[in-house]
Amino acid sequence: MDLTRESLDREIPSRLTTIQMNHAAVSPLPARAVAALAGYAHVLSTRGPLAFPEMSARITALREDAARLLGVTQELGGSSSIAIVPNTTYGLSLVSQGLDWRQGDVVVTTESEFPANLTPWLDLARLGVEVRRIPTRDGAFTAEEVFAACDARTRLVSLSLVAYHTGFVAPAAEVGAFCRTNGIAFGLDAIQAVGAIPVDVAALGPDYLSADGHKWMLGPEGCGLFFTTPSFRARLRPPSGWLNLKRTNPAQYDVGERPEYVEDATKFEIGAPPMPGVYALHASIGLLLEAGSAVIGARIRAVLAVLEDGLPRLGWEPVLHGQAVRSGILSARPPAGTDPRRAMRHLESNAVACSARAGFLRLSPHFGNEPEDAVRVLDLLARL
């Protein structure tokens, strides 16, 4: 894809009015996703249920492109290992509610997880499951610290691939290899990663991965992806539903006394799919695949480099400065006496979208941003 300024303005028209530095919260929809939503509305309004075959084809296409985006090889099940879910939390809850937990089991995670990757495990206390939260430093930790928290009772390690508040990229490949060797399930909350950095499940080795589409995948809220390996999926009890039943034909609705569920990832899709999200997310993932992770990463790093260079001159301290693996998030500690929420409001009042998280100012550009956007942010902070 030719990522000229003109092509980006066509794909992401909101950048003409607002500098989007808040993709770690909710991304603006690309023009093609907006068109896909309009296309869905037109099909539904003109054809109604006669459009079901077209909708089914769009669901299949989304699974296939999602498998490409996540590096799901045929050995891992390909697109049959991708479920379409409402959000990241839903996918993680499928694991917490689907495994046959035993009293004394241990889940290892970190002390700085977003609640989506914490409350599903804390809720297991009613079953006698212990949650161990390893300490972090601005969200950072080492693989060795994860290893040290594990023992013979550890059933699961569940981590955020990218920390929501500082952008730290977890040592997932090392942890994944350790878990495979020791018979421990390994999962990733990847909502702050997929679309911004390369995510290759074959290389990282998770048993499952959950990510909503409304951040770095540039999709709408309410439609995300849940990957499971075939072997791990077989261990998960499916949620009760009707669309995930084994049926000889689509019009078979006689459940019988003992419902049987499908075995591929659609076992987690219990009812009607989020079709508006399917159309829009498929379009947005198509944009990401066309651009390619190398180009996306290079453009994000170019913007972050300007911020990392300029923020210290204004008294702001970039968190995790110089880390070897860069995500799309840059957070900075404010100068003494400066409230990051005030800085956020100042930037927003000047048409710059950003966030304040955990006492930091969080900036999260995507490949639609330009280095001059970072210059504008620095200029505004200088006048705070």
Lowest-confidence region among 156-160, 259-263, 266-270: 259-263
Nearest by Cα to 159 from 233, 99, 210, 224? 210
Nearest by Cα to 280 from 61, 19, 89? 61
Query: What angle, 0 to 180 degrees and rounded to 10, lies between the N-to-C axes of helices 293-310 and 275-291?
Result: 80
Q: Which tokens go with 64?
A: 């296939």
**What is Dmax (Cα atoms) for the chain?**
70
Report the alpha-carbon distance of residue 244 to residue 236 in Å, rounded. Answer: 14
Q: What is the pLDDT of residue 62?
A: 98
Report the alpha-carbon distance of residue 368 to residue 133 in Å, rounded. Answer: 36
Q: Which tens digits make up the pLDDT trace of 206-219?
A: 999 999 999 999 99
Q: Which tens digits make up the pLDDT trace of 313-362?
A: 999 999 987 677 889 999 999 999 999 999 999 999 999 999 999 999 99
Given a cut of 80, is residue 377 above it in pLDDT? yes
Q: Which tens digits make up the pLDDT trace of 61-115?
A: 999 999 999 999 999 999 999 999 999 999 999 999 999 999 999 999 999 999 9
Q: Which tens digits make up the pLDDT trace of 171-206?
A: 999 999 999 999 999 999 999 999 999 999 999 999
Report the alpha-carbon distance of residue 377 to residue 363 in Å, rounded. Answer: 9
Reported confidence tier of residue 6, pLDDT bands at 50, 70, 90: confident
Percent of the chain at pLDDT > 90 equals 86
Q: What is the pLDDT of residue 321?
A: 72
Q: Which tens digits make up the pLDDT trace of 7-42?
A: 777 787 776 689 999 999 999 999 999 999 999 999
Report the alpha-carbon distance of residue 44 to residue 32 in Å, rounded. Answer: 18
Reported confidence tier of residue 49, pLDDT bands at 50, 70, 90: confident
Report the alpha-carbon distance of residue 100 to residue 365 in Å, rounded. Answer: 41
List of residues 6+ apart from 110 with CB closer than 8 A? 133, 134, 135, 136, 139, 141, 159, 160
Q: What is the pLDDT of residue 255?
A: 76
Phi, psi of 168 (to 5 degrees): -60, 135
Domains of the chain: 5-29+292-382 (3.90.1150.10), 34-289 (3.40.640.10)
The pLDDT mean for the chain works out to: 94
* Residue 322, number of CB atoms within 10 A of its CB: 7
**pTM of the predicted structure, to 2 decimals:** 0.95
Given a cut of 80, is residue 2 above it in pLDDT? no
